[in-house]
Structure 1
Amino acid sequence: MTHRTITAILMASVLLLIAAAGCTATTDETNEPVAPADEAYARGLAEYEAGNYRVAEERFTEAYTHYKAAGDTDKALMARDGIFRASRTIIEYPFNRSTAEAALRESVPGITDAEIADWLDNRAQQLISENETLYYLDVAGNYLFAHPDEKQKQTASGVDFDYIGRFAWSENRPEHGPYVNPVRYAGVERFEIPHEALPSSGILKIWFPLPIETDSQQNVTVTNLSAPEFIAAGPFTTGEIGYVYYEIPVEAVNGDLVLTADIAFTSYEQIFEDIDPAKVGEYNTSDPEYLLYTRSERNIEITDAVREKAREIVGNETNPHLQAQMIYYHIIETYPYSLVPHLSLDTREPKVAESTYMFETDHGDCGTQSMLFAAFCRSLGIPARAIGGYQMIMAGTPGGHFWAEYYLPGYGWVPNDLTVAEAADWVVMPEEKRTAFKDYYAANLDSARLVIQKNVDAPMDPALPDDVVSYRVVRQFPAVVSDTADYDIELFCAGCFGISLENVD
């Protein structure tokens, strides 16, 4: 999951707060005077609830200006977070109808007016604000993902799929697993906030991601952590999620703020293709881990509609391994990959779970596909989760990614990667190779991985405060909280983090 595009838009649209003119005092229902700032904030809440996100942002900004002038820091913070919430809700929808049409014509040569109309009217991701229909920023790219023939024309050259398929098509793959072909990786995580982007005062609270120990990722080491005097918790490299938590006084930073960690780990290829369905054991349905991974969570939601669809997918099949395999193939054959507005989904109220969003709209990327897979499995009583971290399968360099796992008694956590599997549809190749590629990623996984979190909604301690506007879906990049920054510092900082890794075997 990449945030490069979000960061670019953020720099152009929310770094500068809008200066708003004052207004005269009014009265409330009790005929008591209402301060202009309080009135503006109340109007912001009302506009947001009405789906007028741009106007809501303006009203929150007006309130923020008044509160700041009055020296009311608590209410100023409340209004600032209202600005961030409204901005994040709409920031990924930059196109109106005419600019969305232009984007499609530019990116899809030969597209017809009828095809454009059908896509925008029936398939494209939309948001309505101020009674205007807006379109998701990758409206053209998602059209190509949904039309593989067009996508293949544009990827005919420049895609080295032999490299991508090096694990799935290997002639020397072990017949038995599950954990084979270890690869030792070492590298550096680096987070750098330019000095001019730092607030002038206050405490920066930073949750810095780290690798964790899993069955397939072992011998994790984290050394040379920067600023050890400001580490308030951690580092944690076991459990559900890896991170170290900092509290850094801005006054203690001279120049740019730079945090680094030297990391190393051994990653194993996972081979589960020899599972015998008859040897799958019985679940201990009272086990805490079983209960954790079969319940609804913030972004993996079990609804009646999801249960009904999952039963439809598996029919009369009762074996959990075969059920999970049927769900895997159903998703990669039925739900074309597409980028989605994660920022808006994470912020917008009322909250919609990512799995539910894909189920209802047919739109989903690696994270959303993995979460829907987990939701379908959980609805059938199969423990499942969405794994977050990085992959090096596509280009050799770490790229943010999600994949899935489901648990089978007697075998353990069985991986799959729905998105990498579906990538085989984006290029021209012999059908037998495409099938072999998809079959490999149904119950196996390459070793070109870095795991940060075992589940999308894995909790941290200390947790992100409930009232803070923060991107809560993943922890592939640092979470940053500041009560004194007057711009959305966390989104800006999404472009300030990177990981370099190399094979050191």
Structure 2
Amino acid sequence: MRYRAITALLIASVLLLIAAAGCTATTEEKNDPGAPADEAYARGLAEYGAANYRTAEERFSEAYALYTDAGDTDKALTARNAIFRANRTYMEYMFDRSAAEAALREKVPGITDAGIADWLDTRAQKIVSENETLYFYDVAGNYLYAHPDDMQKQNERGIDFDYIGRFAWAEDRPEHGPYVNPVRYSGIERLEIPFEALPSTGTLKIWFPLPVETDAQRNVTVTNLSCPDFIVAGPVTTGPIGYVYYEVPAGAVNGNLVISADIAFTSYEQIFEDIDPALVGEYNTSDPEYLLYTKSERNIELTDAVREKAREIVGNETNPHLQAQMIYYHIIETYPYSHVPHGSLDAREPKVAESTYMFETGNGDCGTQSMLFAAFCRSLGIPARALGGYQMIMAETPGGHFWSEYYLPGYGWVPNDVTVAEAADWVVLPEEKRTAFKDYYATNLDPARLVIQTNVDTPMDPALPDDAATFRVVRQSPAIVSDTVDYDIELICMGCFGISLTAVE
């Protein structure tokens, strides 16, 4: 609330200054071509602060046009970025009340009017803009995730859980780890931007994701990187994030821009189920890595409420391994999976951390669940992080995914996957198999993974521009920035990137 108040005061101050300037302006000031643009921009800020996001977008658009006509490119860029952020704030909330009700009736057979009203009034994710309540686009899918009995009915023939459980239920799983059963993957990452979407002036900046070396992902190779003349930094395949950075001058490409890379890596199954709590060592609390992974970050936020809840979860337990296990099962039992508006959470001002969003609303997917797990652990002094990349556990085609790890002296980074574990609740299974599946993902991890980054909000060099409207939390798809186009090129190109992988040995 404090930040909202400060924002409101700043906006009010700007408007008062504009009003005062209008009362005392000289003839020269009245003819200032930038004055109407400044006023439109200030009104955009005011509308945004009042949660009138669509109107704010319109005001920022007016300011952009006026700044452009006046030849003020710097302010035009600021207004353009504000347009994009306002749009991203509400774009995932596609349904009004009647459309949300219709989506629920279509996807959830037999749902009652009372059930619809209860879901939309108390549980559904929504945003208010211009005093109208707008509902998240997957309002019906999230209802099913929150009601496992209904989800199980729909999945009776739709999910091959024997395939998903092939690692957790393996009878020949090694008894000792931690890194076993290596699988060599090879494939291609490919981004193709249509020619008509390319900027006609300026420079197109692209941060292209790549695999990164970890304890469980080794022998990473990146070959046949296309457009080598445009590579400015990288390829980087060590450290906390993998990427290569391109700068493509306007007019340098005749036709579609295609950036691709042949990638290969060896992924290991991780087996940590034989951890002895008594053998966990002491943390070096002055170590830089300890300090990094126990601090509050942009999307793994430590608040007094999170600290209090973490202490409540673990009670009198003091062993970090047992504490982390208690947090793992607490999230599975308390925070059912749901899709969330990542774009809105990333763009919205004042910023709401993804971990805090789930903690306060109960809504979250793999990334949000992993970030909340890390926040709870960090609040207890247990180093923890959320890893991002792709998984091939649900299907052979790579799908974007996040999971988490916590660090134990004497053992290293111990993995878990709350979201995959929770998938066992979406199908009809014998209880012993469901329990075994969840227990496996409490301290172990299958090798059907591609790691891009070892923590959310990981910086790159060069860094993403501070004022650019770009998705910052993860790098599972390229970050794309252009200062010279009047459309949100990163959003347009999100469907232009793909990864294909094959297990080769």
TM-score when normalising by structure 2? 0.94
Q: CA deviation at 1:240?
A: 0.5
* One-letter amino acid matched to 1:414: V
Distance 1:30-1:317 versus aligned 2 partners, 3 A rule:
farther
Distance 1:26-1:248 versus aligned 2 partners, 3 A rule:
farther
Q: CA deviation at 1:69?
A: 2.2
Q: Is 1:28 equivalent to 2:4 in the alignment? A: no
* One-letter amino acid matched to 1:399: G
Instruction: Give the corresponding residue for 1:257.
Output: 257
The 2-side partners of 1:286 and 1:28 are apart by 56
* One-letter amino acid matched to 2:491: L
* One-letter amino acid matched to 2:390: Y
The 2-side partners of 1:350 and 1:30 are apart by 33
Deviates more, 1:130-139 or 1:209-218: 130-139
The 2-side partners of 1:397 and 1:172 are apart by 25
Deviates more, 1:224-233 or 1:256-265: 224-233
Is the 1:301–1:353 Cα contact (8 Å) retained in structure 2? yes
**Residues 189-214 of structure 1 deviation map (CA, whole Å, 9 limit, x = unaligned):** 00000101112111011000000000
Q: CA deviation at 1:458?
A: 1.1
Instruction: Give the corresponding residue for 1:206.
Output: 206
Q: Is 1:283 equivalent to 2:283 in the alignment? A: yes
Q: CA deviation at 1:102?
A: 1.0
Instruction: Give the corresponding residue for 1:18.
Output: none
Instruction: Give the corresponding residue for 1:125.
Output: 125
Q: CA deviation at 1:72?
A: 2.1
Is the 1:407–1:413 Cα contact (8 Å) retained in structure 2? yes
Q: CA deviation at 1:27?
A: 5.4
* One-letter amino acid matched to 2:57: E
Instruction: Give the corresponding residue for 2:3.
Output: none
The 1-side partners of 2:24 and 2:54 are apart by 30
Instruction: Give the corresponding residue for 2:8.
Output: none
Distance 1:316-1:64 versus aligned 2 partners, 3 A rule:
same
**Residues 311-361 of structure 1 deviation map (CA, whole Å, 9 limit, x = unaligned):** 000000000000000000000011010000000000000001000000000
Q: Secondary structure at the match of 1:323?
A: helix
* One-letter amino acid matched to 1:79: A
Distance 1:166-1:29 versus aligned 2 partners, 3 A rule:
farther
The 2-side partners of 1:36 and 1:289 are apart by 50
RMSD (Å) for aligned C-alpha atoms: 1.2
Is the 1:328–1:418 Cα contact (8 Å) retained in structure 2? yes
Instruction: Give the corresponding residue for 2:108.
Output: 108
The 2-side partners of 1:489 and 1:287 are apart by 41
1:482-501 alignment runs, 5 A limit: 482-501=482-501
**Residues 217-252 of structure 1 deviation map (CA, whole Å, 9 limit, x = unaligned):** 000001111111111111110000000011110211
Is the 1:26–1:36 Cα contact (8 Å) retained in structure 2? no
Q: Secondary structure at the match of 1:28?
A: helix
Q: Secondary structure at the match of 2:387?
A: strand
The 1-side partners of 2:23 and 2:213 are apart by 58
Distance 1:29-1:288 versus aligned 2 partners, 3 A rule:
farther
Identity of aligned residues (%): 81
Distance 1:29-1:162 versus aligned 2 partners, 3 A rule:
farther
The 2-side partners of 1:112 and 1:207 are apart by 47
Instruction: Give the corresponding residue for 2:378.
Output: 378
Q: Secondary structure at the match of 2:62?
A: helix
* One-letter amino acid matched to 2:364: G
Instruction: Give the corresponding residue for 2:74.
Output: 74
Instruction: Give the corresponding residue for 2:422.
Output: 422
Q: Secondary structure at the match of 2:493?
A: helix
* One-letter amino acid matched to 1:345: L
Instruction: Give the corresponding residue for 1:320.
Output: 320
Q: Secondary structure at the match of 1:189?
A: strand
TM-score when normalising by structure 1? 0.94
The 2-side partners of 1:38 and 1:373 are apart by 44
The 2-side partners of 1:397 and 1:125 are apart by 29
The 1-side partners of 2:362 and 2:143 are apart by 13
1:221-232 alignment runs, 5 A limit: 221-232=221-232
Q: Is 1:247 equivalent to 2:236 in the alignment? A: no
The 2-side partners of 1:196 and 1:467 are apart by 25
Deviates more, 1:294-303 or 1:194-203: 194-203
Q: Secondary structure at the match of 1:68?
A: helix
The 2-side partners of 1:71 and 1:299 are apart by 37
* One-letter amino acid matched to 2:165: G
The 2-side partners of 1:391 and 1:196 are apart by 32
Instruction: Give the corresponding residue for 2:356.
Output: 356
Q: Is 1:409 equivalent to 2:409 in the alignment? A: yes
Instruction: Give the corresponding residue for 2:399.
Output: 399
* One-letter amino acid matched to 1:355: S
* One-letter amino acid matched to 1:236: V
**Residues 55-106 of structure 1 deviation map (CA, whole Å, 9 limit, x = unaligned):** 0011111111222222222222111111101000000111111111111111
* One-letter amino acid matched to 1:266: T
**Residues 106-142 of structure 1 deviation map (CA, whole Å, 9 limit, x = unaligned):** 1111111111111111111111111111111111100
The 2-side partners of 1:143 and 1:263 are apart by 38
Distance 1:278-1:41 versus aligned 2 partners, 3 A rule:
same
The 2-side partners of 1:42 and 1:284 are apart by 49
1:157-196 alignment runs, 5 A limit: 157-196=157-196
Is the 1:199–1:486 Cα contact (8 Å) retained in structure 2? no
The 2-side partners of 1:88 and 1:488 are apart by 10
Unaligned 5+ runs, structure 2: 1-18
Instruction: Give the corresponding residue for 2:218.
Output: 218
* One-letter amino acid matched to 1:94: M
The 1-side partners of 2:313 and 2:175 are apart by 29
**Residues 481-504 of structure 1 deviation map (CA, whole Å, 9 limit, x = unaligned):** 100111000011111100111011
The 1-side partners of 2:67 and 2:253 are apart by 28
Q: CA deviation at 1:29?
A: 5.3
**Residues 454-483 of structure 1 deviation map (CA, whole Å, 9 limit, x = unaligned):** 000211111101111110010000000100
